């Protein structure tokens, strides 16, 4: 099989063979003439740009099927829409804030129940058997605390109980971790982030090997109107071509920044999956090909002080999202996890002093110097 970089660059049919185009065009159309060779009829039901991107994603993930959506939240919605009234979802307690909001404020109204479990605790495995959920929902590494879940162990327990497992793989991407090979049923990715890598398009994707699950995703894409735009798919197809190059630089920057901040007097703690002080480093080394490019730190600071640090940075923009070529800094308690109840944030450790760094492709020395000057604002 070709290597990751080769598969990220080379896609299949461009649906424009008569021109010999190397990069597929944007098929900016809502409607297709009946009887065309590609079987297209209406872009909500499929578009050449969807299929091109889906082919690249399935190749990089080394799986049978990929289905693209309009955003990461759209991909989450597609999966959650397969649940029925009364179904129970066992969720890792530290999930992306919008995932929490969808389950607790939207799907709860339709009778879908959620229970929040610490899946780094071995006792969580027995909960799968005893609670008999309809689905297990994981992230690894988690957002924003970078907990690393033993995916093989959880998937094995879920398989024994006949329970499908969803893994949000956005922070790692398939280049760092392949959940399907570890036993997951579905691998979910916000392609807005590392896959596209340029902070200029929204998208999501669900990868799987099960044809029945693939058909459920295709149905949700069409029936719920969760499809992406052809233009965003074109941008993401272009972006993924440089994913291996970008991610290599971003992970090197993340490791350097994490090591530097770990000894900084204003920083109480640092989380980065491959550091020896990470609680699940052994699991990370076993199931990940790198540490990713997110670093989470705990500042000895109030919210106002943490904000001041974030705003004093030159090379880090204070913003939502992550995974782009530019470095970003985020204050999860008031940004990505603002919708999470205060008592839940306190329980999880999402404090006012917690800051999440998304490392880009800049020179590491510049990023470290920038952080150092901003941290001088702290007493």
Q: What is the spatial distance between Cα 339 and Cα 336, in angstroms, rounded to a whole number?
A: 8
Q: What is the spatial distance between Cα 68 and Cα 53, in angstroms, rounded to a whole number?
A: 8
Quick one: tokens of 301? Answer: 């600071």
Quick one: tokens of 73? Answer: 């939240």
Q: Cβ distance 61 to 207 under 8 Å?
A: yes
Q: How far apart are the first and last CA of the chain?
A: 55
Would you name the residues annotated as active-site residues? 44, 96, 168, 193
The residues facing 139 across adjacent strands are 168
β strands within the chain, DSSP E: 65-69, 88-92, 113-117, 135-139, 165-168, 186-189, 204-208, 267-271, 294-299, 316-318, 327-330, 354-358
Q: Cβ distance 28 to 228 under 8 Å?
A: no
């Amino acid at each position: 099989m070709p290597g990751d970089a080769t598969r990220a660059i080379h896609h299949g049919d461009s649906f424009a063979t008569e021109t010999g185009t190397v990069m597929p065009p944007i098929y900016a159309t809502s409607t297709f003439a009946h009887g065309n060779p590609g079987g297209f009829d209406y872009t909500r039901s499929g578009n050449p740009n969807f299929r091109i991107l889906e082919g690249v994603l399935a190749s990089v993930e080394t799986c049978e099927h990929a289905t693209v959506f309009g955003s990461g939240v759209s991909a989450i919605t597609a999966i959650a829409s397969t649940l029925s009234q009364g179904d129970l979802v066992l969720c890792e307690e530290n999930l992306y804030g919008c995932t929490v909001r969808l389950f607790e404020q939207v799907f709860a109204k339709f009778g879908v129940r959620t229970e929040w479990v610490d899946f780094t605790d071995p006792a969580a495995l027995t909960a799968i058997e005893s609670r008999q959920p309809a689905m297990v929902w994981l992230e690894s590494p988690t957002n924003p605390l970078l907990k690393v879940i033993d995916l093989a162990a959880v998937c094995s327990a879920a398989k024994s109980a006949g329970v499908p497992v969803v893994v949000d793989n956005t922070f790692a991407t398939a280049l760092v971790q392949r959940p399907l090979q570890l036993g997951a049923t579905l691998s979910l990715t916000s392609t807005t982030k590392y896959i596209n890598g340029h902070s200029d398009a929204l998208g999501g994707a669900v990868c799987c090997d099960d044809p029945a699950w693939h058909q459920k995703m295709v149905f949700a894409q069409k029936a719920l109107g969760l499809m992406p735009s052809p233009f965003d798919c074109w941008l993401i197809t272009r972006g993924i071509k440089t994913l291996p190059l970008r991610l290599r630089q971003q992970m090197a920057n993340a490791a350097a920044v994490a090591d530097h901040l770990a000894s900084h007097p204003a920083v109480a703690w640092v989380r980065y999956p491959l550091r020896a002080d990470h609680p699940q480093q052994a699991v990370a080394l076993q199931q990940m090909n790198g540490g990713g490019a997110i670093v989470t730190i705990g500042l000895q600071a109030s919210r106002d002080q943490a904000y001041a640090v974030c705003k004093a940075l030159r090379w880090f923009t204070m913003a939502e999202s992550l995974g782009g070529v530019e470095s970003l800094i985020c204050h999860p308690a008031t940004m990505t996890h603002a919708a999470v109840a205060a008592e839940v944030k306190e329980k999880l450790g999402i404090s006012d002093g917690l800051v999440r760094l998304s490392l880009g492709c800049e020179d590491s020395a510049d990023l470290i110097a920038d952080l150092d000057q901003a941290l001088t604002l702290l007493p």
